[in-house]
Structure 1
Amino acid sequence: MTDVNFTPALRAYTVGLLTFIYTANYVDRQIVAILLQSIKLDMGLSDTQLGLLSGLAFAIFYATLGIPIAYLADRVSRKKIIIVSLSLFSVMTIICGFAQNFIQLLLARIGVGVGEAGTSPPSHAMIADMYAPNERATPLAIFALGINIGLLIAFLVGGWVNHHYGWRTAFQVVALPGLLLVVIAMFTLRDPPRGLSDGQEAQKAPPLGEVARYILHNKTLRQLIIGSTLVVTVGYGAIAWLPTYFVRVHAMTTIEVGQILALLIGIGGGIGTALGGHFADRLGKRDVRWNLWLIVILALVGLPFSVGAYLATDATLAIILLAFPVSVGALYFGPTLAMLHTLVRPEMRSLASAILLFINNIIGLGLGPLMIGVLSDYFSTDYGARALPYAMVTSALLALWASVHLWLAASTLRADIENTGQTA
């Protein structure tokens, strides 16, 4: 198979456009985090209800529908699936701004989750089809910048609009760029041939059961999924509650919080994510296990900084301590997906991504924010305003558990890659 029509420039443009789409995805997903305290005061909600809005209600539909959509993406046009999904979650985010009570807002957030389910698995597969196994961590890390750019926009724009015009307007404003991207994608997005980077035609896409069994019987993939899910649980919990933490514990405005978190997570995290993908590819060429060792080392080093930040009684100290963990918080993304797509066959890629994301999100996104909300309500009787920080510390400790599984995944990685016939 040749790649005459898929030039390096076209590959770069495709990764760039998919990254912008993922950015819109993440803005619409996480805008609720900067708005939680305002929504709580306006609707009189508990922290458990806020956890449902930012986590479980969204995650159930986002994660579950990702699998059948990915099943289609391994068989039909991935471009069309991305465009339809982008249109849906943008419209549903606008509808969030019209909600008059908890149930209406919950249903609108579910709609956002349904729409967002169809963008990531096809995007991952398209990128894997454009880049060889030993080059994938970098473009996938660039794609992961959508997390950081999305959070920057959500926190910065969302915080400013919320402060001046209210949380309803904030939902509606941040959704508009997604509709513009729909038009751009319709005319310029190209779907690479399946198996392009492997130098062969991809075989007929297998059924879900076959892909699930393949993953289940692969030692590395089992540990990789467990470890990454625990990392995601910590990350989603922190992202969902950090704005509320600063507003509630340190009496900051949403504008101030938006500016600080945009700087820390948006810019600092973006640099960390991009460099992480670069170093993972570079170190991985010496020993492929560095793709996972790097995640373990940074998770363990970042843990005491996170705990110290949550327990800090001074806002400035909390911000300084958070700088490191939030800068490397999304670094796992590129190497994790690169190893996943290296360990599965080309015709499995969309569905394998969907299975990974299903488990990551049903537990990480679904239970991460909700767990902190429930613990915060539980601790509030004894600890009052300190309940939320103690709940966030409890969540952060899951990084220790995650590190064990990622280390175990690294121990079998080389052997499992050799068994697939891929180049490590």
Structure 2
Amino acid sequence: MDNLMISSLTQKSENSEQHIYPPLSYGWYVTVLLTIIYILSFVDRQILSLLVEPIKSDMNLSDTQIGLLMGASFAIFYSTMGLPLGWLADNMPRKYLLGAGLAVWSAATALSGLAQSFKHLFIARILVGAGEASLGPCAISLISDVMPPSQRSRAIAVYSSALSFALAIAYLLGGQIMKFADGLDLTFIPFMADLKSWQLVLIIVGSPGLLIALLVLTLKEPNRQYIDKNRSKGFNSIKRTFNYFGDHKRLFTKLFILPVTMTIITYSHNFIPSLFQREYGWDPVTLSIYIGTIIGLVGPCSTFFGGWLIDKMYSKGIEDASIIIMRIGGVIMVPTCIAMPLMPSPQLALVFYGFSLCGVTLITVSAWSSILGIVPPDLRGQATAIYLMVISMFGLMLGPTLVGVFNDFLFVGSDRLDLSMSLVSIIFGTLSLIMLPNIVKTYRAAIGIN
């Protein structure tokens, strides 16, 4: 009896230690800083879409080559480096890993501005992807360790909202930087005298991250929560992660379907500035004002609402809240993304884009919550890396590349960027909606709901 009491008290003590979180104010400080870094990462990644037409003109590139620059080049290391970096995020101070990654991708973005050929730009974009691969595993793992479960979905929603803020900043600020760079006279600087305006934009956008990388190093590494003291060490933990996903492959395969579809479709939207310029005659600066405003208003609001709603539903005992919200997001996203490029006017296209953004953000925040709810805490970094690897591999490789391939080879000589973008959404979106009821059923069974 005494042994049972001692064992019980010891277990309670260990659980109390495992459940200790830093002050909530510090947790939100870390979350906000990570959100700012996520914004920077997406600005660095997304700014290229605003520069498609001048880059295509100056380098005499095809839409397929542009698609490779916006997708495949970034995905090569962003996808493949995610898992080893996820292991590092689970086994070393995350601030050092994140700081190094931020410095690499920021420097690579700035160096993109010095590219003189497709090959140079392709290599620079590979380095951007390699650096950004460190962010996801570090950020989600850190948020999980500084925020208690009652606040975690909300914190993840704040972090996920960076996607919308980054898009808004990329369009609003990117358009103004393009305008500024056009009138900038740098002839008095020998190595910058011959740079095009799009090259100056990349240099300007990439530079701030080098300073913020220093700020990351000031973070205090939080205690890792709920760590099993008997867990696998070293690279055996990678094997354990793969074994865990292998043991639950049916669940994760289905759970990833809608986020993969979302990523394919959203990366195909990298051609939106070109769509508006070719179909409606809107220049990038004009588009940046309208679409940046829509993204800045709709994206964060729907993301925060999704995170709040999931937390609210969880508090009322609705254990499958995240998958319910994901389902709603899919039903909103697919039809609006199919219709958006086909609209007869730019105004209608922007309206449909706003609705599609609501669906995208709901899927984003609910996917993170769904995964964190079923993955062992000491595997979160690597699980996040696998998730990002899967959705990025498919999204970046297929989204922008297929739009370019369709337009260059399926609609030869007709330049039907509108049909090419819509076709991507039709193919992948329709398949996802057909699978949606089975996805929900499988997830509910996995968490013990009949």
Q: Structures share a fold, TM > 0.5?
A: yes
1:242 aligns to what? Answer: 272
Q: Which runs of 5+ in 2 are unaligned?
A: 1-16, 182-196
Contact 1:157 1:174 in 2 (8 A): no
The counterpart of 2:418, out of the listed 357, 378, 389, is 389
2:146 aligns to what? Answer: 130
One-letter identity of the residue aligned with 2:391: N
Show CA shifts across 1:168-219 (max 9, x none): 11111111221221122122x2322112xx4876844553232122113223
One-letter identity of the residue aligned with 1:394: L
Greater shift, 338-347 or 352-361, is seen at 338-347
The separation in 2 between residues aligned to 1:136 and 1:185, in whole angstroms, is 21
1:333 aligns to what? Answer: 364
Displacement, 1:160? 2.1
Contact 2:21 2:146 in 1 (8 A): no
Greater shift, 81-90 or 256-265, is seen at 256-265
One-letter identity of the residue aligned with 1:390: L
Greater shift, 146-155 or 264-273, is seen at 264-273
Show CA shifts across 1:275-319 (max 9, x none): 111112222444222312222223223333333321112111211
Partner of 2:287: helix, strand, or coil?
helix
Partner of 1:343: helix, strand, or coil?
coil
The counterpart of 1:229, out of the listed 260, 277, 298, is 260
Partner of 1:331: helix, strand, or coil?
helix
Superposed, 1:28-47 pairs within 5 Å as: 28-47=44-63
Question: Aligned pair count?
Answer: 413
Displacement, 1:393? 0.8
2:301 aligns to what? Answer: 271
Partner of 1:288: helix, strand, or coil?
coil
Residues 90 and 164 (structure 1 numbering): CA distance in 2 closer, same or farther, change over 3 Å?
same
Instruction: Give the CA RMSD over aligned residues.
Output: 2.1
Contact 1:264 1:326 in 2 (8 A): no
State the structure with more CA Rg. 2
The counterpart of 1:310, out of the listed 313, 329, 341, is 341
The counterpart of 1:59, out of the listed 75, 89, 98, is 75
One-letter identity of the residue aligned with 1:115: G
Displacement, 1:132? 4.5
Q: Does 1:180 align with 2:211?
A: yes
1:409 aligns to what? Answer: 439
Displacement, 1:228? 1.5
The counterpart of 1:296, out of the listed 327, 330, 346, is 327
Q: Does 1:371 align with 2:427?
A: no
1:422 aligns to what? Answer: none
Partner of 1:136: helix, strand, or coil?
helix
1:7 aligns to what? Answer: 23
Q: Does 1:78 align with 2:99?
A: no
2:222 aligns to what? Answer: 192
The separation in 2 between residues aligned to 1:202 and 1:410, in whole angstroms, is 33
Residues 229 and 44 (structure 1 numbering): CA distance in 2 closer, same or farther, change over 3 Å?
same
Superposed, 1:212-223 pairs within 5 Å as: 212-218=242-248, 219-223=250-254
One-letter identity of the residue aligned with 1:233: I
Contact 1:226 1:402 in 2 (8 A): yes
Contact 1:133 1:342 in 2 (8 A): no
Show CA shifts across 1:123-176 (max 9, x none): 111112233456432211110111111111111121222244221111111112
Q: Which runs of 5+ in 1 are unaligned?
A: 420-424
The separation in 1 between residues aligned to 2:20 and 2:322, in whole angstroms, is 30
Contact 1:216 1:222 in 2 (8 A): no
Residues 289 and 348 (structure 1 numbering): CA distance in 2 closer, same or farther, change over 3 Å?
same
